[in-house]
Amino acid sequence: MTTATDIDLLCINTIRTLSIDAVQKARSGHPGTPMGAAPIAYCLWQRFLRYSPRHPDWPDRDRFVLSAGHACALLYSLLHLTGVRAHWPSYPSTDRLAVTLDDLKQFRQMDSRCTGHPEYGWTSGVEVTTGPLGQGVANSVGMAIAGRWLAHTYNRPGFDLFHHNVYALCGDGDMMEGVSSEAASLAGHLALGNLCWIYDDNHISIEGSTELAFTEDVGARFAAYGWQVVRVGDANDLAALSDAYRAFLAVDDRPTLIIVRSHIGYGAPHRQDTREAHGEALGEDEVRLAKEFYGCDPDAHFAVPPEVPAHFARNLGQRGEDAQAAWEASYHAYAAQYPDLARQLDCQRSGTLPPDWDKNLPEFPTDARGLATRDSSGKVLNAVARQVPWLIGGAADLSPSTKTALVGDLSSGSFQSPAYDGSYAGRNFHFGIREHAMCAIANGIAVSGPRAFASSFFVFTDYCRPSLRLSAMMAVPVIYIWTHDSISLGEDGPTHQPVEQLPSLRAMPGMVVIRPADANEVVAAWRAIMPMRDRPVSLVLTRQAVPTFDRSRYASAAGLARGAYVLADAPDGKLPQVLLLASGSEVALCIQAYEQLREQGVAARVVSMPSWELFETQGADYRDGVLPPSVVARVAVEQASGFGWERYVGSEGAIIGLAQFGLSAPGGEVARHFGFDSDHVVAAARAQIARCR
């Protein structure tokens, strides 16, 4: 190992042996990559990373993302040895290390901070949840975007508040996943010079050598994306690694890929290649052999020589402490000179909103024809963005259709490299036709301070699913705006008409789905969305115009905040004979049926149910008040798979939904073909009343 002192070797080998011991005690996990990549991580953290272990939430810290999340024992060992402190509310006390030696000994066990893959919000020092390959590197692009945007929006002469870098350690699996290619392509286009991916090129995957399926020239691919490509021939060469990191720091007009050739399970017997890929411990005999190879005591377990944390503290720790203290002093002076900007940054750090942020939201007059909820949402989005300057985002090449462009003086143009006549202060993002990366990037932005929104057609959530799932798992408040929400979009046909997407997103724990019925429900939806700090939202909107209800005749749209509410009720306070339940555009259909039934002497209740998730958080009294248990005649109407509506209509209730894909025709014709008209709703309501008699 070139230019490695004895203390360097001791630190690297301690990272290795801690990782080996954690995996061996759990009899589960991946020891090989931590062993092979330990010098890569050590060199970065000890010599280059701007990071304060005592303040792991410092806004201008460098970010380190372990995209190869299966190698998490490496990260946990680093967090322990560098003395990173606890700061997440998930800890019972912050007066402790983020990862203790006991946590390492309980790797992959119940309640340990050392989970099977890194989890954001649970273990301090984990910047994002990683594990599904490709997600971490895509998140890192969002972090780098956020860094650029924060710098160009808030830095002022003499106040360089934001100039941090983002590093991501990735492997062969990350490079094979499509989301990483999408994200890398966009990062190259945006010339994100604050982004560095470190590719641990160890040529192994579960089925064996990567030559079975992956033989491309990765460096040439990234050079074509517009990245700087640096190669290190031996992961154990600290001098070459240091030169590679310096090469990254010397370039500001493009991201950098450092390709490091390593051998998985360096120093372990050759059988480690297969065991690492399958997530198996080495076994006691091989653990002893590996430790002997590293010059460590083979009989010692979870050994931490006192020189190791002391060495980290003198370098990484002191460097980070000095940088963080200087930043805090600068920020106090900045706040005195630019109080309005400082208040914005304080809101971002705390996840709060400015006072009266919603005071200028539009109100929409009664209109029998109305407008598409995508159109009303576009108006509300711009009104919100005027009061919340850190609300930023865009669409996957569809902002004219999803109505998500910030216009006028709000936009500051597009977020774009100056090479393309843009500005990194722009609030409109052009993700290109990269839906999966868009959502992963939005997650990276969201964990960095700004409030992110992302948009596409609803059917394309199928391309985004892993990133959406991680939004929900991390509980980050990304706002997803999905339009063209049903078969009523019409002529594009079944390939573009969502059917199963609504129930599938409702099945995702932590994802709030809101499908508003008219323009004023859209306003109420945004009022509900913006204060949410700990969950993502999918706002599902129509392409076609829907009526704007007469709220003097029907209930206030403010009921949306509770997930479901009585929009139209039986006259004179009578108990209704039948409940008509719907979301989105089908609420208007239920109102038509309600009026027809009323003329026929039938007492009906229309319940608008824009968000099941919000409704289920209400108390039983409220839920029973909206859906009286004694009224068992019920009809649910939704232009989607009926899956899940049984919860609200019962096993014998009527569900007017879809059990097949759509078809290509004008939207109104498609809806009528599948029975979405008031006559069908009335007939179903009468049949339910007759059944219950």
One-character DSSP codes across 25-43: HHT-S--HHHHHHHHHHHH
Distance (Å, whole) CA 523 – CA 609: 15
Q: What's the per-residue H, E or C state across 356-372?
A: CCCCCCCCCCCEEEEEE
Q: Residues 229, 116: one domain?
A: yes
User: Among 293, 324, 355, where does a domain finish?
Assistant: 324
Give the model's pLDDT for residue 275. Answer: 47
Find the CATH number of the domain harbouring 276. Answer: 3.40.50.970
Q: Residues 120, 202: one domain?
A: yes
Q: Residues 579, 517: one domain?
A: no
Classified as helix, coil or strand, 88 is coil
Token readout for 589 is 């259909």
Number of domains in the chain: 3
- Residue 63 covered by a domain: yes
Phi, psi of 396, rounded to the nearest 5 degrees: -85, 70
User: Among 518, 546, 574, where does a domain finish?
Assistant: 546
pTM of the model: 0.96
User: Among 546, 579, 610, where does a domain finish?
Assistant: 546
Sign (positive/negative) of CA torsion 402, 511, 75, 311?
positive
Strands (E), 202-358: 204-205, 208-209, 228-232, 256-261
- Residue 587 covered by a domain: yes
Contacts of 342 (CB under 8 A, 6+ apart): 331, 334, 335
Kindly report, residue by residue over 642-686, the tens digit of the pLDDT: 999 999 999 999 999 999 999 999 999 999 999 999 999 999 999
Kindly report, residue by residue over 552-581, the tens digit of the pLDDT: 999 999 999 999 999 999 998 899 999 999
Is 521 in the active site? Answer: no
- Residue 341 covered by a domain: no
Distance (Å, whole) CA 301 – CA 281: 14
CA dihedral 669, 592, 371, 626 (to 10 degrees): -120
Residue 218 CB-density burial (10 A; 0-12 exposed, 13-18 middle, 19+ buried): middle
Degrees (nearest 5) of the Cα angle 493, 495, 497?
65
Give the model's pLDDT for residue 209. Answer: 87
Q: Residues 576, 520: one domain?
A: no
Q: Residues 616, 474: one domain?
A: no
- Residue 355 covered by a domain: no
Phi, psi of 20, rounded to the nearest 5 degrees: -60, -45
Looking at residue 191, the DSSP 8-state letter turns out to be T
Q: Residues 580, 492: one domain?
A: no
Q: Residues 20, 105: one domain?
A: yes
Q: Residues 127, 38: one domain?
A: yes
How many Å from the N-terminal Cα to the C-terminal Cα in the chain? 85
CA dihedral 376, 390, 421, 145 (to 10 degrees): -120
Classified as helix, coil or strand, 307 is helix
Classified as helix, coil or strand, 488 is helix
Contact in structure between 173 and 71 (CB atoms under 8 Å): no
Distance (Å, whole) CA 540 – CA 624: 26
Q: Residues 235, 303: one domain?
A: yes
Contact in structure between 449 and 146 (CB atoms under 8 Å): yes
Q: Which helix (H) or strand (E) holds 199?
A: strand 195-201
Instruction: Assign residue 267 a region (left: φ > 0; alpha: ψ between -120 and 50; beta: otherwise).
Output: left
Strands 391-395 and 428-430, bridge-based pairing: parallel
- Residue 552 covered by a domain: no
Q: Residues 536, 639: one domain?
A: no
Give the model's pLDDT for residue 409. Answer: 81
- Residue 491 covered by a domain: yes
Distance (Å, whole) CA 90 – CA 352: 19
Q: Residues 126, 164: one domain?
A: yes
Phi, psi of 196, rounded to the nearest 5 degrees: -135, 120
- Number of neighbours of residue 529 by Cβ within 10 angstroms: 21
Residue ranges of the chain whose pLDDT lies below 70:
1-3, 264-279, 411
497 to 168, 537, 666: CA distances (angstroms): 37, 21, 12
Find the CATH number of the domain harbouring 672. Answer: 3.40.50.920
Looking at residue 85, the DSSP 8-state letter turns out to be B
Q: Residues 604, 534: one domain?
A: no
- Residue 182 covered by a domain: yes
- Residue 336 covered by a domain: no
Give the model's pLDDT for residue 271. Answer: 44
Q: Which of 444, 426, 369 is nearest to 135 (CA)?
A: 444
Identify the active-site residue in 435, 586, 613, 638: 435
Alpha helix segments (H runs only) across 338-410: 339-350, 373-387, 399-402
Identity of residue 26 = A
* Residues belonging to the chain: 693
CA R_g for the chain: 28
Residue range(s) defining the domain that contains residue 649: 560-692
582-606 exposure pattern, b = at least 16 Cβ within 10 A, e = fewer: bbbbbbbbbbbbbebbeeeebbbbb
Contact in structure between 13 and 63 (CB atoms under 8 Å): no
